[in-house]
């Protein structure tokens, strides 16, 4: 037995289409596997980045805060020891006095003194600017007849050399960890409060008079670092930082430090996110892998059909099935290898398109390469086995009854997948998302529950394939010769039932998977947006005093038309929102509510959701027992009351007052600062609730959508390949038909009917399966069920239109190829062949 090694690569070039299909099939197969590995790794990195956006940058490295008041003489030695222990690591230390009575050469006032290296570079100077004296905040300067150059407290303070604008929310990241020290809460505490008077140096701070530092100092130590991009980097930073803090504790025993460490939970959440995504996409990846290997087998079968004459000659010369299977590897192995490498490169190149982050764990890319190597090896094994079996059937066992194949086809696989779908539905109904075990942790995501919609699509695809096969088997009874295009299309479909069924199966999977993925990911995104809006009440919120309510102050002109004043009265877990009906819809988050209807309804008290139907008394309000009802309302969710401001009996009796605005936090607070209106407690809708559980599901099904796109490409290639495989039969039949009087338009119509029927069947069945499964699954995939509203199905019409248009283009291309083959055919040569 001798394998013709030298002839194989040159022979492969004789059919470029087979090589191209082999490369593309291996590319898609390798892309799916590599992308699954990279996507799960990128999901963990995206989780780290998301949580870092909600944290103070200077606390990413573990930091220190002194417990209790530190004696002034201990501050400088401690900072010196910390910097020595930190080595080349940057250290940002801050010291603050308590709020004391002080004078700056004029009227006495309350003030707090502090030093933080770089503070002068992160405030806005209003007057002066010399860096060798005190920098006084505007709020302190306004309480005394402050003059630049004056030396307060009998000349014992450095001269006042600048007045700066008070630091206020939304705060710069450089100040984020110092918020409690640098931003006084003038809404809650109106008596003794002060922003910080900054000293020019640590030595100047140490020289403050004893009556200023006598109550002890507050100290903080931060270690600014670049943001870690992956969970591994965050873990390394956390371990290194904790070790440094332990060494600092040993070096500064006179001060009791509180370790300010925030990274452990984000790192744990990132690991959980990557694991959840990996577990959720694994089943679909395995299904795609099986489909891809089946595609490799189909390509090999086509190769054997084209090489039948040559294979027969080699068989007669003594080559056995496995040797000829090796011949298939010699011809198709290199394209499969090139396709695998191209798939890995494509997965890495397109990472920003399908993955939520471009940051990968150190071992992610090597693991993806290993997975691709396994896929290529499996593809080569499939090629050998399929080619050997094909040769065996052609030459060693030409007469077979196909019992094994008939038994395999008769097995009701759809019943097995339906049983799995039922079990997944049970898991989903019992709770596909379980409550986290710790505050701030992620809910456990049941991968089996997430698989429910995909199992429904798979079951429907298998059932549709079986129904189509039965219909094609019965199609010989159909007589539509009065419509020859339709009759010929039906007979052509029946003659190639196997390939047609395979194309339908992959097509239904592709369309259903894309629809499921896009629907669930869009529903999660919308749900997070609406839950956040109803939780905060508006795009941005700040707490204010009562001046804007009583009319002592007016709302700045820049905020009119986009902002409303809202009160919140709470007692015994009952809450009422006090609104101004005329302006409420200008600033509040309304979701899908109609503004005109809402304004008319809230002109009188309204009961919301499950609020009790009995008289309720809340602070600052008259007794409430309204008849009008709403299912939900911003801030109170699905239980509470809405009261118009005119019903308020005591403005000061209402617990708190807020500004709700459609503007961003920065655009809301800037006019307030300019008008001198005090505020506190800035909230933004984007950061109101933790969106990581929503994003985890969204990232999972975004990848499902990408897999659906890959399957759609596979289905299109399978359709075109089926046309190419039977090119000779189509050419003979088409050429004879046209010479017998059939017009080219009729022939084209028959191909369009044939291929269009398969495509339309796939679109309808796939869309119906996805609509059924997502309609059941979406409301139950709610990571925050206590917040309203529940997730709802998005508008899927754009996706359906896109799918239909894409399918039509593929059908047109395939029909054109078939018609072109028939019109260019040479009857004599085809018959002699």
pLDDT digits (tens, 9 = 90+) for 376-422: 999 999 989 988 888 877 777 654 455 666 666 667 778 888 898 89
Residues 6+ apart with CB under 8 A from 527: 694, 782, 789, 790, 791, 792
pLDDT, tens only, 746-762: 767 777 887 888 888 88
Distances, alpha carbon 622 to alpha carbons 471, 546, 576, 578, in Å: 72, 19, 11, 12
Distance from chain centroid for Cα 192: 46
**First and final CA of the chain: distance in angstroms?**
29
β-pair type (109-116, 196-198)? parallel
The pLDDT-based confidence of 725 (bands split at 50, 70, 90) is low
CA distance 537 to 532: 8
Phi, psi of 765 (to 5 degrees): -65, -45
- Residue 258: in which H helix or E strand, if any? strand 257-260
> C-alpha angle 234/237/239, rounded to 5°?
110
Rounded Cα–Cα distance for residues 813 and 163 (Å): 74
Mean pLDDT for 536-565 is 89
Residues recorded for the chain: 833
Dihedral of CA atoms 690, 692, 693, 696 in degrees, nearest 10, equals 170
Task: Evaluate if residue 1 carries a pLDDT over 50.
Answer: no
- Tokens (6 digits) for 431: 């709770």
As a whole-number percent, the residues of the chain with pLDDT over 90 amount to 26
Average pLDDT, the chain: 84
The residues that bridge with 433 in the sheet, in sequence order, are 445
Contact 275, 47 (CB under 8 A): no
Which of helix, strand or coil describes residue 127?
strand
Q: What is the pLDDT of residue 450?
A: 82
Q: Report the interhelical angle of 231-251 vs 16-53 (nearest 10°).
A: 30
CA distances to 48, 59, 330, 337 from 53, rounded to whole Å, are 9, 12, 53, 42
Query: How many other CB atoms are there within 10 angstroms of residue 243's CB atom?
Result: 11
Q: Can you tell me the mean pLDDT for 363-381?
A: 93
Q: How far is CA 755 from the centre of its chain?
A: 37
Query: Each residue of 304-328: pLDDT tens digit?
Result: 777 777 777 777 877 778 887 788 8
Long-range contacts at 97-101 (CB < 8 A, ≥ 24 apart): 97/208, 97/212, 97/213, 97/215, 97/217, 97/218, 98/69, 98/215, 98/216, 98/218, 99/192, 99/193, 99/194, 100/211, 100/212, 100/215
Q: Which residues have CB under 8 Å from 187's CB, separation 6+?
A: 543, 544, 545, 678, 679, 680, 681
Cis amide linkage into residue 832, ω under 30° from 0: no
- pLDDT of 736 above 70: no
What number is the average pLDDT over the span 805-832? 70
DSSP letters for 4-73 = -TTHHHHHHTT-HHHHHHHHHHHHHHHHHHHHHHHHHHHHHHHHHHHHHHTS-GGGSS-EEEESSPBPHH
Per-residue pLDDT of 451-509, as tens digits, reads 888 889 989 988 888 888 888 787 666 666 667 666 777 777 776 777 788 888 888 98
Report the C-alpha gap between 171 and 185 in whole angstroms. Answer: 14
How many angstroms separate the CA atoms of 471 and 47, rounded? Answer: 49
pLDDT at residue 739 above 70? no
- CB neighbourhood size of 736 (10 A): 15
How far from chain centre, in Å, is Cα 788? 20
pLDDT value of position 2: 46
C-alpha span between 543 and 547 (Å, rounded): 12
Q: HEC profile for 317-370?
A: CCCCHHHHHHHHHHHHHHHHHHHHHHHHHHHHHCHHHHCCCCCCCCCHHHHHHH
Distance CA 692, CA 710 (A): 27
Contacts of 429 (CB under 8 A, 6+ apart): 780
Rounded to whole angstroms, how far apart are CA atoms 523 and 520? 5
| pLDDT of 40 | 93
Query: What DSSP designation does 177 have?
Result: G
**Structure tokens, 632:** 């939900």
Sequence-ordered list of residues with C-beta below 8 angstroms from that of 56, at least 6 positions apart, any chain = 173, 176, 177, 262
| pLDDT tens string 760-798 | 888 999 999 988 888 888 888 888 888 878 888 888 888
- What are 650's two structure tokens? 């005591």
Give the CA distances from residue 99 to residues 106, 214, 821, in Å, rounded to whole numbers and listed in that order. 18, 11, 91
Which has more confidence, 541 or 191? 541
β-strand pairing of 540-544 with 679-684: antiparallel
Contacts of 730 (CB under 8 A, 6+ apart): 492, 723, 818, 821, 822
pLDDT tens column, 573-627: 888 999 999 899 989 998 878 888 888 898 889 999 888 888 888 888 999 888 8
Q: How sure is the predictor about 64, in pLDDT bands with cuts at 50, 70 and 90?
A: very high
- Please give the Cα distance from 701 to 517 (Å, whole number): 4
H helices present in 91-137, as ranges: none
């Amino acid at each position: 037995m001798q394998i013709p090694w030298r002839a194989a690569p040159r022979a492969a070039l004789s059919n470029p289409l087979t090589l191209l299909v082999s490369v593309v099939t291996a590319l898609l197969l390798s892309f799916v596997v590599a992308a699954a590995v990279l996507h799960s790794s990128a999901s963990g990195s995206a989780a780290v980045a998301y949580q870092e956006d909600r944290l103070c940058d200077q606390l990413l490295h573990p930091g220190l805060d002194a417990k209790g008041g530190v004696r002034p003489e201990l501050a400088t030695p401690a900072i010196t020891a910390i910097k020595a222990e930190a080595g080349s690591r940057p250290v940002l230390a801050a010291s603050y006095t308590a709020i004391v009575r002080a004078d700056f050469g004029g009227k006495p006032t309350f003030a707090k003194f502090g030093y933080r290296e770089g503070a002068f570079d992160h405030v806005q100077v209003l007057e002066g600017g010399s860096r060798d004296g005190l920098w006084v905040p505007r709020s302190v300067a306004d309480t005394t007849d402050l003059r630049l150059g004056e030396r307060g407290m009998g000349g014992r303070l450095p001269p006042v050399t600048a007045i700066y604008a008070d630091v206020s929310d939304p705060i710069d990241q450089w100040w984020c960890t110092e918020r409690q020290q640098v931003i006084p809460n003038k809404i809650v505490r109106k008596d003794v409060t002060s922003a910080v008077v900054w000293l020019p140096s640590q030595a100047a701070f140490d020289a403050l008079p004893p009556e200023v530092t006598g109550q002890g100092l507050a100290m903080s130590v931060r270690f600014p670092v670049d943001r870690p991009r992956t969970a591994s980097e965050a873990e390394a930073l956390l371990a290194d930082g904790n070790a440094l803090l332990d060494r600092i504790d040993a070096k500064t025993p006179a001060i009791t430090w509180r370790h300010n460490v925030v990274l452990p939970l984000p790192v744990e959440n990132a690991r959980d996110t990557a694991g959840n995504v990996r577990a959720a996409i694994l089943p679909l990846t395995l299904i795609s892998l099986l489909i891809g290997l089946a595609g490799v087998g189909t390509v090999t079968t086509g190769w054997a059909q084209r090489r039948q004459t040559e294979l027969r000659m080699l068989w007669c010369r003594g080559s056995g099935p496995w040797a000829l299977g090796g011949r298939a590897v010699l011809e198709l192995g290199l394209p499969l290898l090139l396709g695998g490498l191209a798939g890995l490169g494509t997965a890495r190149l397109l990472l920003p398109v399908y993955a939520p982050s471009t940051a990968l764990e150190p071992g992610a890319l090597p693991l993806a390469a290993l997975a691709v190597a396994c896929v290529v090896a499996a593809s080569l094994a499939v090629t050998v086995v399929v080619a050997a079996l094909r040769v065996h059937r052609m030459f060693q066992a030409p007469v077979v009854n196909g019992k094994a194949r008939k038994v395999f086809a008769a097995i009701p696989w759809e019943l097995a997948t339906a049983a799995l779908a039922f079990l997944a539905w049970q898991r989903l109904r019992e709770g596909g998302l379980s409550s986290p075990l710790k505050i701030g942790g992620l809910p456990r995501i049941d991968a089996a529950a997430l698989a429910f919609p995909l199992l429904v699509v798979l079951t429907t695809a298998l059932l549709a394939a079986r129904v189509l096969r039965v219909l094609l088997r019965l199609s010989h009874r159909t007589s539509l010769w009065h419509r020859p295009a339709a009759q010929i299309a039906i007979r052509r479909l029946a003659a190639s039932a196997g390939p047609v069924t395979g194309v339908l199966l992959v097509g239904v999977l592709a369309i259903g998977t894309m629809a499921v993925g896009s629907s669930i990911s869009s529903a999660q995104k919308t749900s997070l947006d609406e839950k956040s809006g109803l939780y905060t009440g508006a795009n941005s919120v700040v707490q204010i005093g009562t001046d804007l309510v009583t009319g002592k102050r007016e709302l700045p002109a820049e905020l009119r038309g986009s902002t409303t004043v809202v009160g919140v009265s709470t007692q015994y877990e009952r809450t009422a929102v006090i609104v101004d009906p005329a302006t409420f819809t200008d600033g509040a988050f309304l979701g899908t509510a109609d503004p005109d209807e809402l304004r008319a309804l809230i002109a009188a008290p309204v009961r919301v959701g499950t609020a009790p139907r009995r008289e309720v008394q809340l602070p600052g309000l008259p007794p409430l027992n309204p008849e009008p009802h709403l299912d939900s309302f911003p801030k109170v969710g699905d239980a509470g009351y809405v009261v118009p401001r005119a019903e308020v009996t005591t403005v000061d009796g209402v617990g708190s007052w807020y500004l709700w605005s459609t503007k961003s936090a920065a655009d809301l607070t800037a006019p307030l600062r300019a008008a001198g209106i005090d505020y506190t407690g800035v909230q933004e809708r984007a950061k109101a609730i933790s969106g990581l559980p929503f994003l985890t599901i969204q990232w999972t099904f975004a990848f499902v959508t990408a897999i659906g796109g890959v399957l759609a490409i596979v289905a299109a290639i399978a359709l075109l390949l089926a046309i190419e495989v039977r090119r000779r039969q189509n050419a003979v039949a088409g050429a004879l038909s046209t010479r017998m009087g059939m017009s080219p338009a009729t022939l084209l119509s028959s191909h369009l009917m044939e291929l269009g029927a398969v495509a339309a069947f796939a679109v309808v069945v796939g869309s119906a399966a996805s609509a059924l499964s997502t309609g059941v699954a979406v409301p139950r995939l709610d990571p925050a069920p206590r917040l309203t509203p529940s997730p709802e199905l998005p508008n899927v019409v754009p996706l359906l239109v896109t799918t239909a248009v894409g399918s039509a283009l593929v059908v047109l291309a395939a029909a054109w190829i078939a018609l072109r083959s028939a019109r260019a055919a040479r009857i004599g040569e085809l018959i002699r062949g």
